[in-house]
Amino acid sequence: MAIAGLGFASRSHFPFRPPLVYCIRKVRHSRSVAVETLVEPDGLIKDEGHNPVSSRERVDNSDRKAPDWKKLSSKDLGITTSMIAKPTRLVLNGLRKKGYDVYLVGGCVRDLILKRTPKDFDIITSAELKEVMRTFSRCEIVGRRFPICHVHVDDTIVEVSSFSTSGRKSHRDSSYVFRRPPGCDEHDYIRWRNCLQRDFTINGLMFDPYANLVYDYMGGMEDIRKAKVRTVIPASTSFLEDCGEYFVAILHVNFARILRAVRIAARLGFRFTRETAHSVKDLSCSVLRLDKGRLLMEMNYLLAFGSAEASLRLLWKFGLLEILLPIQAAYFVSVGFRRRDKRYNMLLSLFSNLDGLLAPDRPCHNSLWVGILAFHKALLDQPRDPLVVAAFSLAVHSGGDLLEAVNIARRINQPHDQSYHELLESQNLDSDKALMDEVMDLAASVKAALCKMTDEYFVSQAMAEHPQAPYSDLVFIPLALSLRVSRVFECVRRGKEKGFVPKRGSKIDYERLALGSLQEVRHMFARVVFDTIYPINMNQGDSPTPT
């Protein structure tokens, strides 16, 4: 999109028992510190130049009764050490210098293999956590039941876990035991036991950047090749055990792991295996013992990291949307949405445009996607003239300068997208006052919609007309976040904020966006809304521009 004077540019592309299914009715300040400088002796990670592993070092398990496991050359997989973030390399080298074994584990290894930028890097080491603490000057142990170390490198936190801690976790919590693969030496066995604790096979990979080896004990490489999400242990049990403890009743489903499955499938474009899909669907109406803070965190992972549209589609497909976001699920029902439909679902279009500006390592603050949900709900309750929507988004961007917003909106010569039910035919809004009144009314409607989204009664009524849907009055948006979202739009009703400087140019400051900078959030909101109402391709690829 391109609007003169605002700097909007074209969109960037950047043994088991059967589970009991129980439907619940109710359903930083950033600390910048430094790590001590470490001299990198020979053999430690540099940006490039590692030696390939010969084919003789690869080991295959030929026992058909046990899962196949392999040692693969990282060079053959296309992994270079320059793909590892510099703070992570510093921590790896610090521990390696002390003589400890260190590995990258989990989703970061998967993403490196897929040539994707990992959201973060997780390290596991043979060192005890107290030894990790002694290695780095800025380090702390966090977590009670399963502690890990947070090593601070400038503004980055690198998480480091210990084999000894994870081993105690495995011994206490895992009731499912795989047969030890033949050919395992003691080091293999320790690594294998740790990978056995992972949620999905594609997260059960371990990378030694010094031996240039990727260890695949759970069949993760095969599932990456097939683009499948498969649980390490049988799905019905996996989704009941993630809390790490056995409850008196087997009624608390592992909702967190279910949401992680959706997140991974959405982000990678993978599909669930048949068993995993059945378990997600069968257990979707149960609510585990997750506090609302954790639930908000999981939803933020789904919607703020560049795969929100795909996440919403999967949540809908597996019956999760009507539990987590009943208001939005009711909208899907009202428009007769089918999972493969593309154009006319405005909510998905909004999040698709948001996705085009985000990435796993460039997320937005949760106030942005909550604000988009509230904005769409307001339009759903009362459809508006596209000129009103355009002026509203511009007013948000300018910090409440309605006059400037109206002047720019009137100069738009691009036709709007007519496929959305939320947009009216052009109304008689010849006077600036009439247009300003409509814009302020929309701002009031957005605030009312946000109140509905955080009110259990309104949430519970969303799916009332659909008795086949599970009842849910779940509200996980806390008051503090609701107030923060309100501030994004309040300027439209109160007038231009004193001292607010609208963002100029199209460059996004992702660090400030992730922290919830009002300027960045408003800029992104206006950009997403404008790209949705006036798509670039509506006029042979031209952007809407003022006359």
Please report, for the domain that includes residue 217, its CATH number. 3.30.460.10
Residue 314 pLDDT: 95
What's the rounded Cα separation, in Å, for the pair 233 and 198?
Answer: 9
Q: Could you list the mean pLDDT of each consecutive 10-residue stretch along the chain, which spans 547 residues? A: 41 32 35 32 47 34 50 95 95 97 96 94 96 95 88 94 74 53 81 91 96 94 96 83 41 68 96 93 69 90 97 93 93 82 85 96 97 98 97 96 95 92 88 95 98 95 83 92 97 91 91 96 97 79 41
Residues 168-199 as b/e (b if ≥16 CB within 10 A, e otherwise) read eeeeebbeeebeebeebeeebebbbbbbbbbb
Residue 65 pLDDT: 40
Residue 342 pLDDT: 65
End residue of a domain, out of 163, 195, 225: 225
**Edge-to-edge strand list for the sheet holding 213-216:** 70-73, 213-216, 205-208, 102-105, 122-125, 156-162, 148-153, 139-142
The amino acid occupying position 91 is V
DSSP strand E in 184-309: where?
A: 205-208, 213-216, 228-229, 271-272
Residue 148 lies in a domain: yes
The amino acid occupying position 460 is S
Q: Which domain holds residue 427?
A: 366-533
Which residues have a Cβ under 8 Å from the Cβ of 511 and sit 6 or more positions away? Answer: 155
Which residues have a Cβ under 8 Å from the Cβ of 538 and sit 6 or more positions away? Answer: 414, 415, 416, 417, 544
State the residue for tokens 């990435």: 359
End residue of a domain, out of 225, 256, 273: 225
Residue 42 lies in a domain: no
Residue 238 lies in a domain: no
Choose among 238, 218, 236, 237: nearest CA to 228. 218
Residue 402 lies in a domain: yes
Residue 60 lies in a domain: no
Q: How many domains does the chain have?
A: 2
Phi, psi of 472 (to 5 degrees): -150, 130
End residue of a domain, out of 168, 200, 225: 225
Residue 542 lies in a domain: no
Residue 468 pLDDT: 78
Residue 253 lies in a domain: no
Residue 235 pLDDT: 84
DSSP 359-394: BTTB---HHHHHHHHHHHHHHHHS-B-HHHHHHHHH
Which residues have a Cβ under 8 Å from the Cβ of 68 and sit 6 or more positions away? Answer: 60, 61, 219, 222
Kindly state the tokens that stand for 371. 């604000």
Residue 158 lies in a domain: yes
